[in-house]
Amino acid sequence: MLYTFIVNTLLSGATVIIHYEVLYRLAVKLPSVTVRPRFRILLGVFIILLAHIVEIWVFALGYYLMINVDGFGALVGNFNQSFLDCTYFSFTSYTTLGFGDIEPSGHIRFLTGLESLTGLVMITWSASFLFLEMQKYWPKK
């Protein structure tokens, strides 16, 4: 259980750090991009989407490593133990979509819940950031 806590903490921490760095660098660099403000926002959206994808892959790597080490549990159902299936499961967990075709068992269940919570926070953080950026360029009435 201690190893599960350590792995979960490292994966969530890495995700938060990645997200923070991307948003920080966007906040610094986006105003100096010499394109129309509309396109600055679109650029920000695409960069943030890429950050989310990287974060999902970080969790997928965690799942892949955990299912291949005894004692962490397994992913069962429509799952063939591949990294690609771990990535699919990570996408559905991070976005809290949760189709249910793959189910965690054992200690790996805690990572699934933590990934959903982390994904929710990262997505709302992104939305807040983009809202504040958009307000800078909206016409004032």
Q: How far is CA 116 from CA 24, 45, 113, in A?
A: 23, 21, 5
Q: How confident is the model at residue 13 (pLDDT cuts 50, 70, 90)?
A: very high
pLDDT digits (tens, 9 = 90+) for 16-50: 999 999 999 999 999 898 888 889 999 999 999 99
Q: How confident is the model at residue 136 (pLDDT cuts 50, 70, 90)?
A: confident
Residue 66's pLDDT is what?
95
Q: How confident is the model at residue 119 (pLDDT cuts 50, 70, 90)?
A: very high
- Quick one: which of 38, 11, 43, 10 has its CA closest to 26? 43
pLDDT digits (tens, 9 = 90+) for 70-115: 999 999 999 999 999 999 999 999 999 989 899 999 999 999 999 9
Domains annotated on the chain, with CATH: 2-137 (1.10.287.70)
